[in-house]
């Protein structure tokens, strides 16, 4: 894109456009790419003939916004709040945002000290329902903590529910987290998360496309999600109904070629419906941080093999296990009967039975052999698939 190497001299024009143009406006993005940010800003300030792709009514609305825009004041307010403004071409600009094409942010307001570009290189989005269940909050926090402990940055939207749980999980693990807001980064939203977002700004990063003091709207939340998807290596959805905003993030991630993952939930819960629909398509089922990292991480970052607990019986020699399995659940059996059941000789069966008696698995009753009470419970559980 021609706008990818905009010089720093275009800074004020980009700040101006963040006050005039809505985030993700692809028509305005095309103007910037084809005409340059300076010319687009000048045409809006002059208010003359409309640029291509918009109606006269829409152009008049943009010009009315342009009249009230004061980029120098926005920069001054931002500086006072400890906020910097990044533009494409800056050393700290995350190059993966360029995958959004003409919907790429005109710039990003950033609150916090770390480098956004470096953090974004090893980041995962964890998103989900605002009105999540205890299960959803637990899974989001546990996943985020596990990712943070493995050196991954957790990105979310700062909202109630899954977002908040993910941020808190990463912070609790002493890890890194980024909140992507749908409003000015100097005015945390929701208000109830002011303390959380302040803490994120102190320990991590709070970013957004909207200038200082600007407020969120429903459409801005939806458009914010494309930034979360583009910024990260993959998106994990924890609880989402069919019409959840987090599914917008997941689908944006799919379009951008990012990994899309879902945490399964109860089939009876409406908050599982959206996630399960994703899993029926191209998303990958994950249950913990190790499985997420196996998907989005470098070659060799594999999740451990999943297996049940190792039981004492599992440590037996295979031939001894066959003899043990040949004993009836409750009755007594002769060595000859046990040998036939284990498909071995009677002498071998007797030798194995004495070995098993020493280990507490069987006991002798006259000429017969029987499982001990503890072994009988264990073998019965194995046969029933417990």
In a shared domain, residues 289 and 225: yes
Measured N-to-C along each axis, helices 26-35 and 37-46 cross at an angle, to the nearest 10 degrees, of: 110
Q: What's the pLDDT tens digit per position in 265-313? A: 999 999 999 999 999 998 999 999 999 999 998 755 555 665 555 556 6
**Segment 52-56 mean pLDDT:** 94
CATH of the domain at 208: 3.40.50.450
Provide the 3-class DSSP secondary structure of residue 369: strand
Q: Tell me how many domains the chain contains.
A: 3
Residue 1 confidence (pLDDT) above 90? no
Same domain for 25 and 54, yes or no, is yes
Rounded (5°) CA angle 86-200-184: 50
Is residue 136 located within the same domain as residue 243? yes
Domain annotation covers residue 78: no
Q: What is the mean pLDDT of the chain?
A: 90
**Residue 276 and residue 318 in one domain:** no
- With a CB cutoff of 8 Å and minimum separation 6, the contacts of 285 are 261, 262, 263, 264, 279
Q: Are the CB atoms for 20 and 69 separated by under 8 Å? A: yes
pLDDT given at position 307: 59
Summarised one tens digit per residue, pLDDT across range 161-176 is 999 999 999 999 999 9
pLDDT digits (tens, 9 = 90+) for 15-26: 999 999 999 999
**Which residue, 70, 89, 115, sits at the end of a domain?**
70
In the predicted structure, residue 326 carries a pLDDT above the cut 50: yes
* In a shared domain, residues 118 and 259: yes
| One domain for residues 24 and 146 | no
pLDDT at 119: 97
Residue 331: band (very low, low, confident or very high) from pLDDT cuts 50, 70, 90? confident
| The pLDDT of residue 301 | 59
Cα distances (Å, whole numbers) of residue 85 to 77, 216, 224, 287: 11, 19, 17, 37
**Beta-carbon neighbour count of residue 363 at 10 Å?**
16
pLDDT band for 315, please (50, 70, 90 cuts): confident
Task: Write the pLDDT tens digit of every residue in 75-100.
Answer: 999 999 999 999 999 999 999 999 99
Q: What is the pLDDT of residue 311?
A: 56
Residue 241 resides in a domain? yes
**Would you say residue 91 lies in a domain?**
no
Q: Are residues 255 and 128 in the same domain?
A: yes
- d(C-alpha 70, C-alpha 73), whole Å: 5
Tens-digit pLDDT profile for residues 100-126:
999 999 999 999 999 999 999 999 999
Q: Which residue has the higher pLDDT, 318 or 40?
A: 40
For residue 100, the 8-state DSSP code is: G
Full residue range of the structural domain in which residue 178 is found: 107-296
Q: Mind listing the pLDDT tens digit for each residue in 265-278?
A: 999 999 999 999 99
Q: Does residue 97 lie within any of the structural domains?
A: no
Q: For the packed helices 56-68 and 11-20, what is the interaxial angle rounded to 10 degrees?
A: 120
Same domain, 241 and 125: yes
Does pLDDT of 238 surpass 90?
yes
SS3 state at 155? strand
Tell me whether residue 89 is in a domain: no
* Domain termination residue (choose one: 296, 327, 355): 296
Instruction: Say which residue the tokens 């629909």 belong to.
Output: 277
User: Tell me: the pLDDT tens digits for 138-162?
Assistant: 999 999 999 999 999 999 999 999 9
Whether residues 167 and 209 fall in one domain: yes
In a domain, 92, yes or no: no
Contact in structure between 250 and 260 (CB atoms under 8 Å): yes
For the record, the structure tokens of 145 come out as 């903590």
Task: Tell me: do 338 and 222 sit in the same domain.
Answer: no
Angle CA 189–105–59, to nearest 5 = 95
Q: What is the DSSP string of 169-211?
A: HHHHTT--EEEEESS-TTS-SSGGGHHHHHHHHHHSEEEESSP
pLDDT more than 70, % of the chain: 90
Q: Taking the alpha carbons of 165, 171, 172, 175 in that order, is the dihedral positive or negative? A: positive
| Of 51, 70, 89, the domain-final residue | 70
Domain assignment present for residue 183? The answer is yes
Q: How many angstroms separate the CA atoms of 154 and 170, rounded?
A: 7
Task: Round to whole Å and give the CA distance between 74 and 56.
Answer: 28
CATH code for the domain of 329: 1.10.10.10
Q: Calculate mean pLDDT across residues 28-47.
A: 95
Distances, alpha carbon 79 to alpha carbons 10, 82, 182, 340, in Å: 18, 5, 20, 85
Residues 163 and 258 reside in one and the same domain: yes
> Helix, strand or coil for residue 166?
helix
Q: Does 361 lie in the same domain as 291?
A: no
Number of residues written out for the chain: 386
Task: Give the predicted TM-score (pTM) of the model.
Answer: 0.79
Which residue has better confidence, 281 or 330? Answer: 281
Q: Pairing relation of β-strands 234-238 and 284-285?
A: unpaired
Q: Is residue 114 part of a domain?
A: yes
Cα distances (Å, whole numbers) of residue 145 to 121, 168, 169: 18, 8, 5
Question: What's the burial of 135, exposed, middle or buried (CB within 10 Å: 0-12/13-18/19+)?
Answer: middle
Alpha helix (H) residue ranges in 237-359: 245-255, 270-280, 289-296, 318-326, 335-342, 346-358
Quote the pLDDT of residue 9.
Answer: 55
pLDDT of the residue at 6: 46
Helix (H, G, I), strand (E, B) or coil at 24: coil
Give tens-digit pLDDT for 125-134: 999 999 999 9
């Amino acid at each position: 894109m021609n706008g990818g190497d905009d010089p720093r001299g275009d800074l004020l024009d980009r700040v101006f456009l963040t006050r005039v143009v809505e985030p993700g406006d692809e028509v305005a993005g095309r103007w910037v790419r084809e005409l340059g940010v300076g010319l687009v800003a000048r045409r809006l300030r002059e208010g003359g003939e409309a640029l291509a792709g918009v109606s006269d009514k829409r152009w008049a609305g943009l010009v009315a916004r342009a009249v009230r825009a004061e980029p120098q004041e926005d920069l001054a307010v931002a500086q006072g709040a400890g906020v910097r403004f990044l533009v494409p071409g800056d050393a700290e600009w995350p190059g993966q945002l360029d995958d959004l094409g003409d919907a790429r942010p005109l710039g990003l307001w950033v609150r916090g000290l770390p480098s956004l570009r470096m953090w974004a290189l090893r980041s995962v989005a964890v998103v989900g329902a605002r009105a999540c269940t205890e299960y959803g909050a637990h899974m989001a926090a546990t996943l985020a903590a596990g990712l943070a402990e493995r050196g991954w940055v957790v990105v979310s939207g700062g909202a109630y529910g899954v977002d908040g749980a993910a941020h808190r999980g990463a912070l609790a693990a002493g890890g890194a987290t980024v909140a992507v807001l749908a409003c000015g980064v100097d005015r945390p939203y929701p208000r109830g998360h002011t303390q959380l977002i302040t803490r994120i700004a102190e320990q991590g990063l709070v970013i957004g496309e909207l200038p200082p003091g600007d407020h969120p709207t429903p459409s801005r939340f939806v458009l914010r999600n494309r930034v979360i998807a583009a910024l990260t290596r993959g998106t994990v959805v924890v609880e989402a109904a069919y019409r959840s905003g987090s599914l917008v993030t997941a689908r944006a991630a799919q379009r951008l070629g990012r990994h899309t993952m879902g945490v399964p939930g109860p089939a009876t819960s409406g908050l599982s419906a959206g996630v399960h629909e994703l899993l029926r398509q191209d998303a990958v089922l994950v249950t913990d941080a190790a499985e997420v990292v196996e998907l989005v991480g470098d070659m060799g970052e594999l999740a451990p093999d999943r297996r049940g607990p190792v039981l004492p019986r599992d440590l037996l020699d295979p031939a001894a296990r066959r003899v043990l399995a040949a004993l009836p659940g409750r009755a007594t059996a002769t060595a000859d009967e046990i040998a036939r059941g284990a498909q071995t000789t009677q002498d071998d069966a007797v030798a194995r039975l004495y070995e098993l008696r020493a280990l507490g698995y069987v006991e002798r009753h006259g000429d017969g052999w029987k499982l001990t009470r503890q072994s009988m419970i264990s073998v019965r559980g194995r046969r029933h698939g417990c």
